[in-house]
Amino acid sequence: MPVKVAMPQFDLFMAEGTITEWLKQDGETVEAEEPIAIIETSKIVVEVESPASGTFYKTQPVGSTVSVGETIALIIQQDEEAPLIPEVIRSPERLEEKPSERVTEAIDERVLASPLAKKLAKEHNIDLVKITGSGRDGVITKKDVLSYLEQTHVEREDEEIIPLTGWRKVMADRMSYSLQTMAQLTTITEADFTELIKLRKKLISEGKDRISYTVFIVKAVAQALKEYPLMNSSLVDGKIIIKKYRNIGVAVAREKQGLIVPVIRRADEKSLTELNQILSEMVNNARTGKLSIKDVTGGTFTVTNVGPLGGTMSTPIINPPESAILGVGAITKRPVVVDDKIVIRSTAYLCLSYDHRFIDGAPAIGFLQRIKQLLQEPKLLT
């Protein structure tokens, strides 16, 4: 029997991927674990490897957006006959008409449409009867639905329609899932960064790399997680799983592809210099589309710093399956009371969101206060 190559699932919330390039041609020999395709998801672009050795045949054309688990290629074993692949697969210009979409269904016995077209129409509450199909035998395709969306809003030049698809749809589903499945509570405190600013300037003057404030925050979080292990856990099937490794995700904003969270593995074992080098590389890779699957999976806690964007504070949403996230606001000079005197200090708000189903306020606040102490006494981090 041919070995099926299915669209892999790279993370918990991945529903589909797009084939951007085939690295093998039909009839070519392929070895097990040899790259055969490049897949783009809402997060990353990654190579897919062959699960077996044999002769390669694709079942989806370049440009196809395929659901997780759906077959994208076949690996034919020795002495087996080549499969009968529909000619449409060899026609890149007919991207909307891959086999899974051409197996059309009647919509209330009046309309024929591809699965992707029906899905998009449902999301935008569109009656498919109003759309003329451009596909084979009059089938309505995804492009037809998108075109209809644009045409129905031509009269309103002061509006722009952006379909909730791709990374936007994944982000929406992920955040909705997070809020619907957790009892999220956010606790806020204010930390004095004055001493940390002095230390950072000193390290830079000594010729050290320009360590970002986020690096100090990651270091403080990683150290505090060792002392408050419940904050480094997940609730799965009624069981609390406490991770003894501390993989810190750092939220990175991208101009066109939205937020992504690369992960620094075993952050508690890294020095400030090592963390700075790793984070700098990950931020660059995130913004240039060079992150790997490993770079964006396996996190146990997330840090999101809205300070560089000018945000004073926020109530961050937990990144499942993690159970807590720290949001940090902009460092701002404020009048504070020290020894009964009003002085100017550089402070920032620390906002900790956590799953209150199993994390009580006491350990959460203790964890937050420990982070605050480490940032206010930054020599403890060096």
| Torsions phi, psi for 364 (to 5 deg) | -65, -45
Closest Cα partner for 8 from 44, 40, 48?
48
Q: Starting at the edge strand that comes first in sequence, how are the strands of the sheet with 35-40 ordered?
A: 45-49, 35-40, 16-22, 65-67
Cβ contacts of 165 within 8 Å, gap of 6 or more = 120
Q: For residue 208, give every residue at least 6 positions away whose Cβ sits within 8 Å of its Cβ, in sequence order, or none.
A: 273
DSSP-assigned beta bridge partners for residue 337: 342
- CATH of 104-167 among 3.30.70.890, 3.30.930.10, 4.10.320.10, 1.10.3470.10: 4.10.320.10
pLDDT in tens, 26-60: 999 999 999 999 888 877 778 899 999 999 999 99
> Would you give per-residue pLDDT tens digits along the chain (382 residues)?
789 999 988 766 677 888 989 999 999 999 999 999 988 887 777 889 999 999 999 999 988 888 888 999 999 987 777 666 655 454 444 444 443 333 334 334 457 888 788 888 888 888 888 888 888 778 888 888 888 877 775 555 667 767 776 667 777 888 898 999 999 999 999 999 999 999 999 999 988 788 999 999 999 999 999 999 999 999 999 999 999 999 999 999 887 777 889 999 999 999 999 999 999 999 999 888 888 878 888 999 999 999 999 999 999 999 999 999 999 999 999 999 999 999 999 999 999 999 999 999 999 999 999 999 999 999 999 8
Residues annotated as part of the active site: 356, 360
Tell me how far apart the alpha carbons of residues 109 and 87 are, in angstroms, rounded to a whole number.
Answer: 28
For the chain, give every residue range classified as CATH 2.40.50.100.
3-93
> Cα separations (Å) of 155 from 134, 143, 151?
23, 20, 8
Positions of CATH 4.10.320.10 in the chain? 104-167
Structure tokens at 314: 């926020």
Output phi, psi for 334, to 5 deg. Answer: -140, 155
Q: Name the burial class of residue 300, with classes exposed (0-12), middle (13-18) and buried (19+) by CB atoms within 10 angstroms of its CB.
A: buried
CATH topology of domain 3-93: OB fold (Dihydrolipoamide Acetyltransferase, E2P) (2.40.50)
- CATH 3.30.559.10: which residues of the chain? 183-381
> Which residues are 349's β-sheet partners?
190
Classify domain 183-381 by CATH number. 3.30.559.10
For 334, the token pair is 């404020």
Per-residue 3-state assignment (H helix, E strand, C coil) for 175-190: HHHHHHHCCEEEEEEE
Q: What are 159-211's pLDDT values in tens digits?
A: 776 777 666 777 788 889 899 999 999 999 999 999 999 999 999 998 878 89
